[in-house]
Protein backbone atom coordinates (compact mmCIF):
# COMPACT_ATOMS: atom_id res chain seq x y z
CA UNK A 1 0.00 0.00 0.00
CA UNK A 2 2.74 2.42 1.04
CA UNK A 3 0.85 5.67 0.27
CA UNK A 4 -2.93 5.93 -0.09
CA UNK A 5 -5.53 8.70 -0.08
CA UNK A 6 -8.70 8.20 1.98
CA UNK A 7 -11.71 9.72 0.19
CA UNK A 8 -15.20 9.98 1.63
CA UNK A 9 -18.48 10.14 -0.29
CA UNK A 10 -19.58 13.17 1.74
CA UNK A 11 -19.30 15.03 5.02
CA UNK A 12 -19.58 13.01 8.21
CA UNK A 13 -18.97 9.55 6.75
CA UNK A 14 -16.08 8.90 9.15
CA UNK A 15 -13.00 9.16 6.97
CA UNK A 16 -10.89 10.46 9.87
CA UNK A 17 -11.96 7.48 11.97
CA UNK A 18 -11.19 5.12 9.09
CA UNK A 19 -7.86 6.87 8.48
CA UNK A 20 -7.00 6.28 12.14
CA UNK A 21 -7.82 2.59 11.87
CA UNK A 22 -5.69 2.29 8.72
CA UNK A 23 -2.80 4.11 10.36
CA UNK A 24 -3.03 1.86 13.41
CA UNK A 25 -3.29 -1.33 11.36
CA UNK A 26 -0.22 -0.49 9.25
CA UNK A 27 1.62 1.62 11.86
CA UNK A 28 1.49 4.16 9.04
CA UNK A 29 2.14 7.88 9.06
CA UNK A 30 -0.82 10.25 8.69
CA UNK A 31 -1.16 13.55 6.85
CA UNK A 32 -4.03 16.02 6.57
CA UNK A 33 -2.63 18.65 4.19
CA UNK A 34 -5.36 21.25 4.82
CA UNK A 35 -7.32 21.72 8.03
CA UNK A 36 -10.31 24.06 7.80
CA UNK A 37 -11.81 24.93 11.17
CA UNK A 38 -11.63 23.12 14.52
CA UNK A 39 -8.06 24.25 15.06
CA UNK A 40 -8.37 23.53 18.79
CA UNK A 41 -8.97 19.84 18.00
CA UNK A 42 -7.88 19.02 14.47
CA UNK A 43 -8.23 15.76 12.60
CA UNK A 44 -4.50 15.28 13.16
CA UNK A 45 -5.07 15.65 16.91
CA UNK A 46 -7.88 13.07 16.71
CA UNK A 47 -5.55 10.57 15.06
CA UNK A 48 -2.79 11.23 17.58
CA UNK A 49 -5.22 10.73 20.46
CA UNK A 50 -6.51 7.39 19.20
CA UNK A 51 -3.32 5.73 17.96
CA UNK A 52 -1.62 3.16 20.21
CA UNK A 53 1.49 2.26 18.23
CA UNK A 54 4.73 4.23 18.57
CA UNK A 55 5.67 4.23 14.88
CA UNK A 56 2.93 6.44 13.41
CA UNK A 57 4.06 10.02 12.78
CA UNK A 58 1.50 12.71 12.00
CA UNK A 59 2.93 15.14 9.49
CA UNK A 60 1.96 18.78 10.09
CA UNK A 61 -0.71 20.44 8.01
CA UNK A 62 0.49 22.82 5.30
CA UNK A 63 -2.56 25.06 5.68
CA UNK A 64 -4.46 25.65 8.92
CA UNK A 65 -7.56 27.71 8.18
CA UNK A 66 -9.76 29.17 10.89
CA UNK A 67 -13.26 28.69 9.44
CA UNK A 68 -15.07 25.32 9.12
CA UNK A 69 -15.83 25.91 5.46
CA UNK A 70 -14.81 24.64 2.06
CA UNK A 71 -11.03 25.22 1.83
CA UNK A 72 -11.33 27.80 -0.94
CA UNK A 73 -13.81 29.85 1.14
CA UNK A 74 -11.92 29.35 4.40
CA UNK A 75 -8.70 30.41 2.67
CA UNK A 76 -10.35 33.51 1.25
CA UNK A 77 -11.68 34.39 4.70
CA UNK A 78 -8.13 34.14 6.11
CA UNK A 79 -6.57 35.96 3.16
CA UNK A 80 -4.81 32.79 2.00
CA UNK A 81 -4.76 31.27 -1.47
CA UNK A 82 -4.13 27.52 -1.34
CA UNK A 83 -1.38 26.60 -3.79
CA UNK A 84 -1.31 22.99 -4.91
CA UNK A 85 2.44 23.23 -5.54
CA UNK A 86 2.92 23.55 -1.76
CA UNK A 87 0.95 20.37 -1.11
CA UNK A 88 3.65 17.89 -2.12
CA UNK A 89 3.45 14.53 -0.35
CA UNK A 90 5.82 14.61 2.65
CA UNK A 91 8.80 12.26 2.36
CA UNK A 92 8.65 9.15 4.51
CA UNK A 93 9.91 5.57 4.34
CA UNK A 94 6.78 4.46 6.15
CA UNK A 95 3.28 3.78 4.86
CA UNK A 96 1.34 7.06 4.61
CA UNK A 97 -2.39 7.67 5.01
CA UNK A 98 -3.47 10.96 3.43
CA UNK A 99 -6.82 12.56 4.23
CA UNK A 100 -7.81 15.45 1.94
CA UNK A 101 -10.07 18.24 3.23
CA UNK A 102 -13.54 17.17 2.13
CA UNK A 103 -14.90 15.30 -0.86
CA UNK A 104 -13.54 14.99 -4.37
CA UNK A 105 -15.28 18.03 -5.85
CA UNK A 106 -14.54 20.40 -2.98
CA UNK A 107 -12.66 23.48 -4.25
CA UNK A 108 -9.19 24.24 -2.90
CA UNK A 109 -8.96 27.55 -4.71
CA UNK A 110 -10.67 29.32 -7.62
CA UNK A 111 -9.43 26.79 -10.18
CA UNK A 112 -8.58 23.47 -8.54
CA UNK A 113 -10.54 20.79 -6.70
CA UNK A 114 -9.50 18.01 -4.33
CA UNK A 115 -9.60 15.55 -7.22
CA UNK A 116 -7.00 17.67 -9.05
CA UNK A 117 -4.75 17.39 -6.01
CA UNK A 118 -5.18 13.62 -5.89
CA UNK A 119 -4.25 13.45 -9.57
CA UNK A 120 -1.18 15.58 -8.84
CA UNK A 121 -0.10 13.05 -6.23
CA UNK A 122 -0.80 10.11 -8.58
CA UNK A 123 -1.73 7.89 -5.64
CA UNK A 124 -4.42 5.23 -5.20
CA UNK A 125 -7.57 5.86 -3.20
CA UNK A 126 -9.55 3.99 -0.59
CA UNK A 127 -13.20 5.05 -0.77
CA UNK A 128 -15.20 5.40 2.45
CA UNK A 129 -18.97 5.01 2.24
CA UNK A 130 -21.58 5.21 4.97
CA UNK A 131 -25.08 3.78 4.70
CA UNK A 132 -27.81 6.44 4.70
CA UNK A 133 -30.65 7.41 2.37
CA UNK A 134 -28.87 8.65 -0.74
CA UNK A 135 -25.55 6.94 -0.09
CA UNK A 136 -25.83 4.74 -3.18
CA UNK A 137 -26.10 7.84 -5.35
CA UNK A 138 -23.26 9.62 -3.55
CA UNK A 139 -20.99 6.58 -3.70
CA UNK A 140 -21.62 5.89 -7.38
CA UNK A 141 -21.08 9.54 -8.27
CA UNK A 142 -17.80 9.63 -6.34
CA UNK A 143 -16.59 6.42 -7.95
CA UNK A 144 -17.53 7.75 -11.41
CA UNK A 145 -15.50 10.92 -10.87
CA UNK A 146 -12.49 8.86 -9.75
CA UNK A 147 -12.87 6.71 -12.86
CA UNK A 148 -13.21 9.73 -15.14
CA UNK A 149 -10.00 11.16 -13.68
CA UNK A 150 -8.24 7.77 -14.03
CA UNK A 151 -7.60 7.49 -10.29
CA UNK A 152 -6.91 3.95 -9.10
CA UNK A 153 -9.30 2.81 -6.35
CA UNK A 154 -7.89 0.09 -4.10
CA UNK A 155 -11.32 -0.71 -2.69
CA UNK A 156 -14.16 0.51 -0.54
CA UNK A 157 -14.73 0.55 3.22
CA UNK A 158 -18.29 0.70 4.52
CA UNK A 159 -18.55 2.57 7.82
CA UNK A 160 -21.49 2.59 10.23
CA UNK A 161 -24.73 0.65 10.48
CA UNK A 162 -24.72 -2.22 7.97
CA UNK A 163 -27.18 -2.31 5.08
CA UNK A 164 -26.50 -5.41 2.97
CA UNK A 165 -28.83 -4.39 0.13
CA UNK A 166 -27.18 -0.99 -0.22
CA UNK A 167 -23.68 -2.42 0.02
CA UNK A 168 -24.45 -5.11 -2.55
CA UNK A 169 -25.81 -2.51 -4.99
CA UNK A 170 -22.75 -0.29 -4.59
CA UNK A 171 -20.31 -3.15 -5.12
CA UNK A 172 -22.32 -4.39 -8.11
CA UNK A 173 -22.46 -1.05 -9.91
CA UNK A 174 -18.91 0.09 -9.12
CA UNK A 175 -17.14 -3.26 -9.46
CA UNK A 176 -15.03 -2.31 -6.44
CA UNK A 177 -13.82 -4.81 -3.86
CA UNK A 178 -14.90 -4.42 -0.25
CA UNK A 179 -11.88 -3.96 1.99
CA UNK A 180 -13.85 -3.88 5.23
CA UNK A 181 -17.17 -3.20 6.92
CA UNK A 182 -16.69 -1.16 10.08
CA UNK A 183 -19.73 -1.33 12.35
CA UNK A 184 -21.07 1.77 14.10
CA UNK A 185 -19.22 2.49 17.34
CA UNK A 186 -21.19 4.36 20.02
CA UNK A 187 -17.87 5.48 21.50
CA UNK A 188 -14.55 5.86 19.70
CA UNK A 189 -11.47 5.09 21.77
CA UNK A 190 -8.00 3.62 21.38
CA UNK A 191 -9.57 0.26 22.20
CA UNK A 192 -12.16 0.40 19.39
CA UNK A 193 -9.55 1.65 16.90
CA UNK A 194 -7.23 -1.18 17.89
CA UNK A 195 -10.04 -3.75 17.58
CA UNK A 196 -10.81 -2.78 14.00
CA UNK A 197 -7.13 -2.38 13.12
CA UNK A 198 -6.41 -5.93 14.30
CA UNK A 199 -9.27 -7.27 12.15
CA UNK A 200 -8.11 -5.32 9.10
CA UNK A 201 -4.34 -5.74 9.28
CA UNK A 202 -3.99 -8.99 7.36
CA UNK A 203 -6.11 -7.79 4.43
CA UNK A 204 -4.23 -4.47 4.26
CA UNK A 205 -0.90 -6.29 4.23
CA UNK A 206 -2.14 -8.35 1.29
CA UNK A 207 -3.11 -5.15 -0.54
CA UNK A 208 0.34 -3.66 0.08
CA UNK A 209 2.28 -6.75 -0.97
Provide the annotated active-site residues: 32
CB-count burial class (<10 Å; 0-12, 13-18, 19+) for 189 = exposed
- Alpha helices for 134-178 (secondary structure H): 135-148, 164-174
CA angle 10, 83, 95 (to 5 degrees): 60
User: Euclidean distance between the first and final Cα of the chain, in Å?
Assistant: 7
Amino acid sequence: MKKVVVVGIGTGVGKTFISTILAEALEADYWKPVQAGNLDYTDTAFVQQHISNKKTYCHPEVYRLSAPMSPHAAGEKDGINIELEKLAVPPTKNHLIIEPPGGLMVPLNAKKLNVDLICQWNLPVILVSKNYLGSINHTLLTERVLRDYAVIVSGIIFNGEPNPATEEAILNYTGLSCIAKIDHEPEISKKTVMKHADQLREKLNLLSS
